[in-house]
Amino acid sequence: MTVHLIGAGPGDPDLLTVRAAELVRAADVVVSDRPSSDPVVALAPARAERVLVGKVPASGGAPARRALPQDEVCRLLVDLGRSGREVVRLKSGDPFVAARGGEEALALQAAGVPFTVVPGISAGFAAPAFAGIPVHVRQLSRVVTILAGNVDDEYPGEIDFEALARLGGTIVVLTGRSRIRRIAGALLAAGMPADTPVAAISAAGRAGAQETIRGTLAALPPRLPAPVTFVIGTVAGIDLDWFADGRSSVVTADDALAPVWPRDDGSSPAGDGVVPEPARAARAPHTADGPPSPGDGARARSQDASVAHRAPAADSPSATGEEPTRAHP
What does residue 147 show for φ and ψ, rounded to 5 degrees?
A: -120, 125
Q: What is the Cα–Cα distance from 213 to 228, expressed in whole angstroms?
A: 11
Rg of the chain over Cα atoms, rounded to whole angstroms, equals: 22
- 58 pLDDT band, cuts 50/70/90, is confident
215 CB neighbour count, 10 Å cutoff: 27
Q: What is the Cα–Cα distance from 125 to 272, expressed in whole angstroms? A: 29
- What are the CA-CA distances from residue 22 to residues 7, 17, 91, 155 (Å)? 13, 9, 16, 34
- Higher local confidence (pLDDT), 76 or 289: 76
Q: What is the pTM of this model?
A: 0.79
**Per-residue pLDDT at 264:** 66
Between CA 241 and CA 142 the distance in angstroms is: 22
pLDDT band at 133 (very low <50, low <70, confident <90, very high): very high
More confident residue, 269 or 89: 89
Task: Specify the higher pLDDT residue, 278 or 288.
Answer: 278
pLDDT of residue 281 exceeding 60? no
Please give the positions annotated as active site. 33, 55
E strands in 130-264: 144-148, 170-174, 197-202, 211-216, 228-232, 247-250
* Confidence (pLDDT) at 265: 58
Q: CA–CA separation, 264 vs 58, rounded Å?
A: 40
**Mean pLDDT calculated for residue range 1-18:** 92
Backbone angles phi, psi at 23, to 5 degrees: -70, -40
| Mean predicted confidence (pLDDT) in 201-225 | 96
Q: Write the Ramachandran bin of 188: left for phi over 0, alpha for psi from -120 to 50, otherwise beta.
A: alpha
- Asked if 115 contacts 4 with a C-beta cutoff of 8 angstroms, the reply is yes
Q: What are phi and psi of 295, to 5 degrees?
A: -90, -10
Give CA–CA dist 94/98, Å, rounded: 8
